[in-house]
Amino acid sequence: MSNEQTEAKAALFATRQARVAQLRRRLARAEHEFLLVSGLPNIRYLTGFTGSSGYLLVAPDFLVLYTDGRYDIQARAQTRDVEVRISTVSVLLAFLEDLKKRRIRRLGFEQNRISFDTYQYLRGELRGGRFQPLNGLVEKLRMVKSDGEIDRIRASVDLNSCAFERVCHKARPNWSEARLASEIEYQMRRLGAERAAFETIAASRERSALPHAQPTVQNLRRNALIVVDHGAMLDGYASDMTRMICFGRVDQRQRELFEAVREAQLAAIGAVKAGVRAGTVDRSARKVLKKFKLEKEFSHSTGHGLGLEIHEPPRLGPKEDLRLRAGMVITIEPGAYVEGVGGVRIEDVVAVTNNGCEVLTKTPRHLRVL
Amino acid sequence: MSNEQTEAKAALFATRQARVAQLRRRLARAEHEFLLVSGLPNIRYLTGFTGSSGYLLVAPDFLVLYTDGRYDIQARAQTRDVEVRISTVSVLLAFLEDLKKRRIRRLGFEQNRISFDTYQYLRGELRGGRFQPLNGLVEKLRMVKSDGEIDRIRASVDLNSCAFERVCHKARPNWSEARLASEIEYQMRRLGAERAAFETIAASRERSALPHAQPTVQNLRRNALIVVDHGAMLDGYASDMTRMICFGRVDQRQRELFEAVREAQLAAIGAVKAGVRAGTVDRSARKVLKKFKLEKEFSHSTGHGLGLEIHEPPRLGPKEDLRLRAGMVITIEPGAYVEGVGGVRIEDVVAVTNNGCEVLTKTPRHLRVL
């Protein structure tokens, strides 16, 4: 490993240590000493472990990661200052036995990251102990990204844009929606993405009016609106972009629909700034769509946070009181869906700053005619 | 729609009706009238709805599907004899309001398909009512597949094999593991798969000894064992296959490892038959590996059910008492992982029959030299 790599790794471990310290302060404020972290992205955020199975015990002066035999080597290599316990039978059982040995009787858990089943099992086993739901402690930390995290999201966003460009050069009207989606995901992977952040949406003609259309064997065709919504995971961080494309030309009605959504999206981006409420950003998009009598055709919220997960807090819905903070990274993606005409959505990723925001997505947002 | 398509659709709806009727009988045996189904694959199994958000209320004489605006058109098109309720604010809230209107006070829920958060919220709102955990009712129905389902799994398995063949013809030793994985997933999609059933595993050299290796930028290289484990989702149904490939030749030790695992896999396949316990199948693989002093190098269970999900009951671990039944579809995938030497896993999908099993995977299981 080069000196530079060693330094980068040391910096990463220092960042994770700082996150754990911050979490411990918040735990102490909630009058807790111990927390069971069961959300895998939360475990990754705090320790660097990327396995698909694990529980993390956060204590005032130590961390223990419980996982299974598949991740023995990996867990030790990815973490530092974390005790790794490998279970051969059941990870939960290993956790419980360790708790008993350490005489830990009172424990917080992530109420949004545990199934009822697991909850019931642990509560039963911790008889007499106290097992208390805590809500989103790590998610709250994760909402505000460090500069390093914003850099990683920017890299994911750039890769995603590059995959889009490559496919725009190859796409043909006789491709199916499914083909378009598969080519985009293939290019993401070729460019180094771990995977698609979610199932790519590619929908043409009247199917563009379904906000969550699964790609079909239907051809893209000429002279129709085509919505393409895709994201990559790169180095653990998500990207998310929606663009409208078409072969040939679209009619006047569809062009107006596009322009209305574009205006709404620009208005929402213009409203983003540290201190502004999430609901205010959402309503600034709705206001524009109302002007075009399209407010009822906008059936979802304006955006969501993204980072280690494709959807994470904050949510940008009309009634969200939360105030944006510098370092939050969110999508801005208003849309309008008119049955029989088509649907339009335009989506960028932006990083909130004290003076407004930085739009991380570099792909031009105009209707792309191929 | 052609007559044939109309008939096929009618047959599908009849199948779903029969499933719901069977579920209602099981509910009645558990002294319940109402069940909240929250597992999406379970909702799909009972109604045909494929959206990513929804709850299904099963009552003695009606079904209600609650979902959000994104799935308005789709939910009505995919289901029959199901009341569809679209919520604009919260799907759970719509469900609760409907329950109150219908004066339903006692309700079973899927304990393995609900988060603690949702459970707590619903229990709080149903004050005075009774909200009771039920375990795996729909999963138990799903374990035994109909002929139609086995046909769909067979199609998914064939597609997956075809993707493997295509990539074997193109692959080069200087490809990275990640490139190999992305080419396989691309070919799946080109052949019509909705998506990969799980993140493709492609691991070369010492990394083949990690049973759950995430593909890296490391080259495949010559004269090394390469494990490839991938599956597709086609028409809702999963496939799953692991094969060993290499460029050039592998050494004596690696070849012996391969032969031991192949013998173990054949022994396990030979043990499959309706009436046999899942644990017996697992142990027949372990017995062979023990003969080669490799029993400690086999760190996972021999297989799992698959269908609408890539992992579903039954599980084929050493202590599983469940008796196999004709129509169950399972993977048989023993492996042995030796640090410093490499790992071998061979995996097929088989359908249990009264006389043994049908191996659905057609790809030859020998070490494929490219």
CATH fold label, A144-369: Creatine Amidinohydrolase (3.90.230)
pLDDT classification of A126: cutoffs 50, 70, 90 = confident
For residue A195, list chain B residues with Cβ-Cβ distance below 8 A: 199
**B25 to chain A nearest CA, in Å?**
24
Q: Where in chain A is the domain with CATH 3.40.350.10?
A: 3-142
- Determine the average pLDDT of the residues in A227-247: 97
For residue B121, list chain A residues with Cβ-Cβ distance below 8 A: none
pLDDT at B215: 87
pLDDT at B255: 95
Note whether B116 contacts A: Cβ–Cβ < 8 A.
yes
CA distances, B206 to each of A84, B39, B246, B336, B338 (Å): 22, 38, 13, 13, 9
Note whether B120 contacts A: Cβ–Cβ < 8 A.
yes
- Determine the average pLDDT of the residues in B65-93: 90
pLDDT classification of A228: cutoffs 50, 70, 90 = very high
- Determine the average pLDDT of the residues in B120-133: 86
Asked whether residue A73 carries a pLDDT value surpassing 90, the answer given is no
Cα distance between residue B272 and residue B281, in whole Å: 6
Count of CB pairs separated by less than 8 Å, A with B? 101
- Determine the average pLDDT of the residues in B110-136: 89
Note whether B88 contacts A: Cβ–Cβ < 8 A.
yes
Name the token pair of A162: 């590059």
Residue B256 main-chain phi, psi, to 5 deg: -65, -40
Determine which of A1-10, A178-187, A347-356, B81-90 has the lowest per-residue pLDDT on average. A1-10
CB B254 within 8 A of CB B342: yes
Note whether A178 contacts B: Cβ–Cβ < 8 A.
yes
What's the angle, vertex CA B51, arms to CA B107 and CA A38, rounded to 5?
70
The domain made up of B3-141 is a member of CATH 3.30.465.10: no
CB A39 within 8 A of CB A47: no
Chain segment B59-75, per-residue pLDDT in tens: 999 999 999 888 888 89
For residue A119, list chain B residues with Cβ-Cβ distance below 8 A: 116, 119
pLDDT classification of B339: cutoffs 50, 70, 90 = confident
pLDDT at A1: 57
Is A189 in contact with B212 (Cβ distance < 8 A)? Answer: no
Q: Where in chain B is the domain with CATH 3.40.350.10?
A: 3-141
- N-to-C CA span, chain A: 45
CATH fold label, A3-142: Creatine Amidinohydrolase; Chain A, domain 1 (3.40.350)
CB B232 within 8 A of CB B160: yes
Q: What is the ipTM of this complex?
A: 0.84
**B296 to chain A nearest CA, in Å?**
11
Q: Where in chain A is the domain with CATH 3.90.230.10?
A: 144-369
Note whether B211 contacts A: Cβ–Cβ < 8 A.
yes
Phi-psi region at A298: left, alpha or beta (left = phi > 0; alpha = psi -120 to 50): beta
Residue ranges of the alpha helices (H) in chain B?
A: 3-29, 40-47, 72-78, 91-101, 116-125, 137-143, 147-170, 177-190, 252-271, 278-291
Note whether A252 contacts B: Cβ–Cβ < 8 A.
no
Determine which of A130-134, A314-318, B145-149, B364-368 has the lowest per-residue pLDDT on average. A130-134
CB B181 within 8 A of CB B202: yes
Average pLDDT, chain B: 94
Asked whether residue A24 carries a pLDDT value surpassing 90, the answer given is yes
